[in-house]
């Protein structure tokens, strides 16, 4: 078939099927338009969904990032707390080791002194021996010269000369015999003293004491935690300001932690918080009321503890003020050893040693019980606790023997009687027996006390509490005399004085509180 014929056939088919082709073309166009519109709609909807998914993903990523940030901050705070705690522990260990090294140094110095004394004594004895030997030689020469004329001497003269020569020859033996007798006497006295001490310690068995700087309070429900904190922390701030402790409310179920270096404050806070939880009304006014009741309760318990200690030792004639002050030792600790238990134990030990040595056990017991009473006197008084305690009991009619024993138990004054030596010995035995004093906290407590005293010395300050293991000091100023600018100036002055006068680890946060209250009563 030629090309012309093929073209003719095609043209003929087109002309014959034209209506069908037009319809087909229109259908294809309409289908294309529908597909195009649907495609744009689907693309627009997909773009909107993609934008929404991107926004949701962005929000979730922001929330996840914030959670990671909070967790990182909490981990940083936890690790910082652990490091601070480890640093404090190592600091205490260093102080204990330094004290042990100083004790060894003192022992070595004492041994050096004793060796020097013995060396001097040997030199004196050698000089005396040399002098005696020279004298004997001189006398021997004279005796020989005198014996040359024996033929001219009578019997009495010869007997007298021989006696003198024998005495000179026996002087060394007599000196050695005297030295042996003295050494034997010293050994017998040392053995007897050891027997008395061992017998006394065997008669008394005491349990070890432990001091804790934190007290856990159990709560009836988790709801109480929110009421303890109060709106914007108002209740917990009022409680800490009234008691001087740190109240830690963490994630532990149904428990809060009371932290303070002062056991008296901790006991007051514990009693007050239990009463507040039981009553249910927790707000600043009731907090002050219950804290005052708790302080009165602790005071009454201290008096009762003093009476029980006196009754346990069967001591009569103590003035009521002495008994009241003695009971306050129940809340005092020295090197983790309870001061009241230590005083009772010292009284018992002194009494037993006195009975073994043939002295008055009642007098020794009385002096031993009262030897640390100065620790319960107000810290505002100047001087050591031995001097303060001696002045206090002297004021209330104690005998000079007891007063001197109390004043001399740290050898700050000279012991005037054997009873002072008994108290020194009993105090040492009670302090060094196994389990009595496991760890030193004296420097830690003294640092916190100095921090509070420094804050109280500023004009306008009413109260000052060292909290957070000495890393924070809260100062309450008088709102009537100190303005807001004055409170800011007090904070600055306190910071400068702390940096200048105190030595402390890490940093100390200073918080000055100025609060004014107005009360009216409608009738």
Listed range (19-23, 116-120, 322-326, 436-440) with the worst mean pLDDT: 436-440
Quick check: 309 and 340 in contact, CB under 8 A? yes
Q: Tell me which residue of 218, 334, 318 sits closest to 274, measured CA to CA.
A: 218
For the chain, give the percent of residues with pLDDT over 70.
78
Q: Tell me which residue of 491, 448, 482, 445 sits closest to 462, measured CA to CA.
A: 482
What pLDDT does residue 223 have? 80
For residue range 362-408, what is the model confidence (pLDDT) as tens digits? Answer: 998 998 998 888 888 765 566 788 888 889 998 988 999 999 989 98
Structure-derived torsion over alpha carbons of residues 122, 126, 132, 137, reported in degrees to the nearest 10: 160
Task: Say if residue 439's pLDDT is above 60.
Answer: no
Backbone angles phi, psi at 473, to 5 degrees: -125, 125
Reading the block at residue 338, the tokens are 């309870």
* Residue showing tokens 């000179």: 168
**Per this entry, what is the length of the chain?**
523
- According to DSSP, the β-strands at 246-248 and 255-259 are antiparallel
Please, which pLDDT band fits residue 500 given cuts at 50, 70 and 90?
confident
Where does 321-395 show beta strands of DSSP type E? 333-334, 337-338
DSSP annotation of 151: G
Quick check: 96 and 439 in contact, CB under 8 A? yes
Quick check: 373 and 398 in contact, CB under 8 A? no
Better-predicted residue by pLDDT, 222 or 69: 69
- 247, β-bridge pairs: 258
């Amino acid at each position: 078939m030629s090309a012309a014929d093929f073209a003719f056939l095609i043209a003929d088919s087109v002309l014959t099927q034209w209506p069908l082709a037009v319809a087909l073309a229109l259908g294809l166009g309409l289908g294309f338009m529908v597909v195009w519109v649907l495609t744009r709609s689907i693309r627009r909807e997909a773009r909107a969904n993609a934008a929404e998914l991107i926004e949701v993903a962005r929000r979730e990523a922001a929330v996840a990032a914030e959670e990671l940030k909070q967790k990182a901050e909490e981990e940083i705070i936890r690790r910082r707390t652990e490091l601070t705690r480890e640093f404090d522990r190592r600091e205490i260990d260093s102080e204990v080791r330094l004290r042990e090294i100083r004790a060894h140094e003192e022992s070595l110095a004492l041994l050096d002194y004793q060796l020097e004394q013995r060396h001097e004594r040997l030199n004196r004895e050698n000089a005396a021996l040399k002098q005696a030997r020279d004298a004997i030689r001189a006398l021997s020469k004279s005796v020989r010269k005198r014996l040359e004329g024996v033929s001219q001497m009578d019997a009495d003269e010869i007997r007298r000369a021989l006696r003198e020569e024998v005495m000179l020859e026996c002087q060394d033996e007599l000196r050695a015999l005297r030295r042996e007798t003295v050494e034997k006497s010293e050994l017998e006295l040392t053995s007897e003293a050891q027997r008395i001490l061992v017998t006394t310690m065997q008669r008394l068995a005491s349990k070890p004491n432990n001091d804790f700087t934190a007290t856990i309070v159990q709560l009836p429900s988790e709801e109480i935690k929110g009421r303890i904190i109060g709106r914007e922390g108002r209740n917990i701030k009022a409680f800490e300001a009234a008691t001087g402790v740190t109240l830690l409310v963490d994630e532990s179920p149904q428990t809060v932690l009371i932290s303070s270096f002062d056991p008296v404050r901790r006991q007051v806070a514990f009693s007050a918080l239990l009463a507040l939880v039981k009553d249910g009304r927790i707000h600043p006014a009731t907090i002050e009321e219950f804290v005052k009741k708790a302080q009165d309760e602790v005071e009454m318990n201290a008096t009762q503890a003093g009476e029980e200690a006196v009754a346990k030792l069967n001591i009569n004639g103590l003035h009521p003020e002495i008994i009241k002050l003695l009971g306050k030792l129940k809340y005092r600790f020295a090197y983790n050893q309870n001061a009241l238990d230590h005083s009772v134990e010292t009284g018992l030990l002194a009494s037993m040693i006195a009975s073994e040595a043939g002295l008055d056990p009642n007098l020794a017991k009385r002096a031993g019980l009262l030897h640390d009473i100065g620790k319960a006197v107000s810290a505002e008084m100047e001087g050591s606790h031995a001097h303060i305690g001696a002045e206090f009991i002297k004021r209330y009619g104690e005998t000079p023997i007891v007063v001197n024993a109390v004043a001399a138990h740290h050898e700050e004054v000279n012991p005037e009687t054997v009873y002072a030596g008994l108290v020194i010995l009993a105090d040492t035995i009670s302090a060094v027996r196994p389990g009595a004093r496991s760890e030193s906290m004296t420097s830690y407590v003294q640092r916190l006390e100095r921090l509070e005293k420094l804050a109280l010395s500023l004009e306008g300050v009413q109260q000052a509490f060292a909290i957070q293991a000495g890393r924070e000091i809260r100062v309450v100023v008088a709102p009537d005399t100190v303005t807001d600018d004055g409170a800011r100036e007090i904070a600055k002055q306190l910071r400068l004085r702390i940096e200048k006068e105190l030595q402390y680890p890490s940093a100390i946060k200073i918080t000055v509180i100025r609060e004014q209250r107005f009360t009216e009563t409608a009738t």
